[in-house]
Chains A and B, each alone.
Chain A
Amino acid sequence: MPDAPGLELIRGEIDRDHPGAVLATSYDRAQAALIADPAQILDVLDWLKEQPGHRYDFLSSLHAADYLPNQPRFGVHYELINRDRVERIRVKAMLEDATPAGGADLGDHHSPNASGGGAKSGSGPAGHAPGLPEIDSCVELFPTANAQEREVFDFFGIVFRGHPNLTRILLPDDYVGWPQRRDFPVGGEPVTFTYSEQRYD
């Protein structure tokens, strides 16, 4: 881990090459994080990967979290390692929830404008309901992100622009909803036993 001053130095250096790409830094519980502008996430990742003297070139994990009720709501986390200096750094991109207030996530596929076809952004892959948060895919930079971005899409409904095959990976293809969002209920499905079969049929 770079320490807190080291993190500020990295931020300053990125700021020279990509002004405004790093919105903030956080140094919490001995873990260093850069909070990046989601629009420039690839610039930040590419800089960290290629910059001589830094070379955070191993993406060990990509995952997301839902910070409801905070805004911006979703965080996409990139855990990078510099294997020469044995240092970790986390890059975080915070995404606004694009669904209108009160819009249930369960209804994403059924919402009336779902057939509108990418009203928010034409670059999103076809078939994804509009109103999902979007961020650029880093599969070109880190091929390992392929399955992990699919997993994030599967569970949070975050669309990665430019991902070669953004489909559900663990859940069935016809599943509706984004289960890891905090407003998705934890409750289970009613189990059909022989005596209760009639009721649920």
Chain B
Amino acid sequence: MTEPNREAEMGMSTDLLETPPGSALAEYDGADDLDREIMTINIGPHHPATHGVLRLVVDLEGELVRELRPVIGYVHTGIEKSCEDKSYWKVIPFVERMDYVSYFFQMEAYCGAVERLIDLEIPPRAKYLRTLFLELNRIHSHLVWLGTTALDLGAISMLWYCFRERDKILDLFEMATGQRMHTRYFQVGGVIEDIPLGFEAKCRAFAEEMPIRVGQYQDLLDRNEVFLSRTKGTGIVSRERLLELGVTGPLLRAAGDPWDLRKAFDYLAYPEMDFKIPVGTVGDNYDRYRVRVAEMVESARIVEQCLDALPEGPFIADDRKYVLPPRSELSTSMESLIHHFKLVTEGYRVAPGEVYYSIEGPRGELGCFVLADGSAKPARVHYRDPSFVNLQAFREMAVGGYVADMIASLGMLDPILGGVDR
């Protein structure tokens, strides 16, 4: 470690560089030790490259990461506790705000769990609509990931391109639900409203355009020397170790394991969908990038299939004990008014029981555990958040590599700290 440039990069004291050779300082024999010294530095909690409020305590030897401790909890808001005090339908907007990039997934995990608790079958159209919005949300989530991670690696234009497409998805969300984020669109029993006129054409246009855009992203990144050298061969963790650490989602698939809950378990309209599970080979950061980018294309295909096969019929279940009656009935039907009043004031009671329901979120297995104690409020709502579990693998991705690779690995890990801390 004798090149002066190297020392300048490491932010070492500049007098060493300015010292002319042969002077007393240059012969100071502690100079060699400076490289071997372990330096503990603190990254975050407020740092753009930590993708949220994540603090990393890193032991560095020169530029090599020797030990790493993620410190979390800075955005813990006690959502799970607050849910204890809300009736079942009021929990939905709360849980949406945990993982704030994949809000449809949070809603689906919760609504699906409650539907299993009360044994409520949702109509086919609702299944397809939910699948449609989940896949749009998956593309949205991956776009946020791609833009910010490429930004960490120095590719600033990716951010603009990705957020341009993301905005189109948010427009679609706004069109169908009235909100761009935190839409509260999924209800226990189905979805709150049918898609509006003109949505299908707009959504189809987006789904046709998206694979072309993904191709453009790949053109920008796949032959970019800087991007390749920073992602290829970095952050490798073996498939076996990832499984031990409970890692799921694109990280596991990048290591060559085609484990996808959409294929493995039967939920929503996924059994009727034709899509592939992209897998990687080595499990380095480049594979993680490739897997996610390929997933965007597959998601766009699912969106198209949902639109093609969208069944006619009701978009929410007809069980008035759990589902709000249509607004138009309130002025004519006493029954509906009573149901509406009961549902809005007290909510519905759920017989004692517990359900764990998990779906494939953009980051892996997103599970929701709901415990009912017979009252109108859930006794416990717990989320198995993929970011929280996947973060445990970060230490093994980063230790032994350079700081710069650590930042790349963190981006490719794609943790959402709102989901980690809940």
Q: What residues of chain A have their CB less than 8 Å away from a CB belonging to chain B?
A: 28-31, 57-61, 63, 65-67, 77, 79, 83, 86, 88, 90, 142-148, 151, 155, 168-172, 179-180, 182, 184, 186
Given the complex, which residues of A lie within 8 Å of B78, measured CB to CB? 179
Given the complex, which residues of A lie within 8 Å of B392, measured CB to CB? 143-144, 146-147
Contact A180 B369 (CB under 8 A): no
Question: Residues 258-292 of chain B: 1 if any A CB is under 8 Å from the residue's CB, otherwise 0?
Answer: 01000011000000000000000000000000000
Instruction: Say how far B75's CB is from chain A's closest CB, in angstroms.
Output: 9
A-B contact pairs, 15 of them (CB 8 A): A61-B365, A79-B358, A79-B367, A79-B384, A83-B264, A86-B264, A86-B265, A88-B356, A147-B388, A147-B389, A147-B391, A148-B389, A168-B73, A169-B72, A172-B73
Q: What residues of chain B have their CB less than 8 Å away from a CB belonging to chain A?
A: 72-73, 76, 78, 80-82, 84-85, 116-117, 119, 243-248, 259, 264-265, 353-356, 358, 365, 367, 369, 371, 373, 379-380, 382, 384, 388-389, 391-392, 421-422
With beta carbons under 8 angstroms apart, the residue of A79, A155, A170 that contacts B72 is: A170
- Given A60-B384, A144-B389, A179-B81, decide whether A29 and B73 contact each other with a Cβ distance below 8 A: no
Contact A66 B380 (CB under 8 A): yes
Instruction: Say how far A182's CB is from chain B's closest CB, in angstroms.
Output: 7
Contact A144 B73 (CB under 8 A): no
Instruction: Say how far A49's CB is from chain B's closest CB, in angstroms.
Output: 11
Contact A28 B353 (CB under 8 A): yes
Instruction: Say how far A3's CB is from chain B's closest CB, in angstroms.
Output: 15
With beta carbons under 8 angstroms apart, the residue of A59, A88, A151, A184 that contacts B246 is: A59
Given the complex, which residues of B lie within 8 Å of A155, measured CB to CB? 80
Given the complex, which residues of A lie within 8 Å of B243, measured CB to CB? 57-58
Contact B259 A144 (CB under 8 A): no
Instruction: Say how far A137's CB is from chain B's closest CB, in angstroms.
Output: 15
Give bound CA distance, A30 to B76, whole Å: 33
Given the complex, which residues of A lie within 8 Å of B353, measured CB to CB? 28-29
With beta carbons under 8 angstroms apart, the residue of A29, A60, A151 that contacts B367 is: A60
Give bound CA distance, A38 to B81, whole Å: 26
Given the complex, which residues of B lie within 8 Å of A146, measured CB to CB? 392
- Given A63-B384, A170-B73, A182-B84, decide whether A77 and B246 contact each other with a Cβ distance below 8 A: no
- Given A77-B356, A142-B246, A182-B379, decide whether A61 and B384 contact each other with a Cβ distance below 8 A: yes
Contact A29 B117 (CB under 8 A): yes
Instruction: Say how far A143's CB is from chain B's closest CB, in angstroms.
Output: 5
Given the complex, which residues of A lie within 8 Å of B117, measured CB to CB? 29
Instruction: Say how far B300's CB is from chain A's closest CB, in angstroms.
Output: 26
B365 closest partner in A (C-beta)? A60
Give bound CA distance, A169 to B391, whole Å: 13
Given the complex, which residues of B lie within 8 Å of A30, measured CB to CB? 116
A33 closest partner in B (C-beta)? B354
Contact B355 A31 (CB under 8 A): yes
Given the complex, which residues of A lie within 8 Å of B371, measured CB to CB? 65, 67
Given the complex, which residues of A lie within 8 Å of B365, measured CB to CB? 60-61
Given the complex, which residues of B lie within 8 Å of A88, measured CB to CB? 356
Contact A31 B356 (CB under 8 A): yes
With beta carbons under 8 angstroms apart, the residue of B73, B85, B119, B245 that contacts A169 is: B73
Instruction: Say how far A105's CB is from chain B's closest CB, in angstroms.
Output: 13
With beta carbons under 8 angstroms apart, the residue of A60, A83, A142 that contacts B244 is: A142
Give bound CA distance, A61 to B384, whole Å: 6
Give bound CA distance, A148 to B264, whole Å: 24
Contact B244 A144 (CB under 8 A): yes
Given the complex, which residues of A lie within 8 Å of B388, measured CB to CB? 147-148, 151
Given the complex, which residues of A lie within 8 Å of B246, measured CB to CB? 58-60, 142-145
With beta carbons under 8 angstroms apart, the residue of B116, B247, B356 that contacts A79 is: B356
A143 closest partner in B (C-beta)? B244
> Which residue among B72, B117, B244 has the maximum number of chain A CB atoms within 10 Å of its CB?
B244
Given the complex, which residues of B lie within 8 Å of A61, measured CB to CB? 356, 358, 365, 367, 369, 384
B384 closest partner in A (C-beta)? A61
Given the complex, which residues of A lie within 8 Å of B355, measured CB to CB? 29, 31
Contact A186 B379 (CB under 8 A): no
With beta carbons under 8 angstroms apart, the residue of B81, B119, B265, B356 that contacts A186 is: B81
Give bound CA distance, A29 to B353, whole Å: 8
Give bound CA distance, A135 to B80, whole Å: 23
Give bound CA distance, A144 to B369, whole Å: 18
Give bound CA distance, A147 to B391, whole Å: 9
Give bound CA distance, A29 to B116, whole Å: 7
Given the complex, which residues of B lie within 8 Å of A66, measured CB to CB? 379-380
Given the complex, which residues of B lie within 8 Å of A58, measured CB to CB? 243, 246
Given the complex, which residues of A lie within 8 Å of B80, measured CB to CB? 155, 180
Told that A65-B369, A83-B259, A144-B244 touch, could you supply 8 new A-B pairs with CB distance under 8 A?
Answer: A29-B116, A60-B358, A61-B384, A63-B382, A142-B244, A143-B245, A143-B392, A169-B72
Given the complex, which residues of B lie within 8 Å of A186, measured CB to CB? 81-82, 84-85
Given the complex, which residues of A lie within 8 Å of B247, measured CB to CB? 144
Given the complex, which residues of B lie within 8 Å of A148, measured CB to CB? 388-389
Instruction: Say how far A90's CB is from chain B's closest CB, in angstroms.
Output: 7
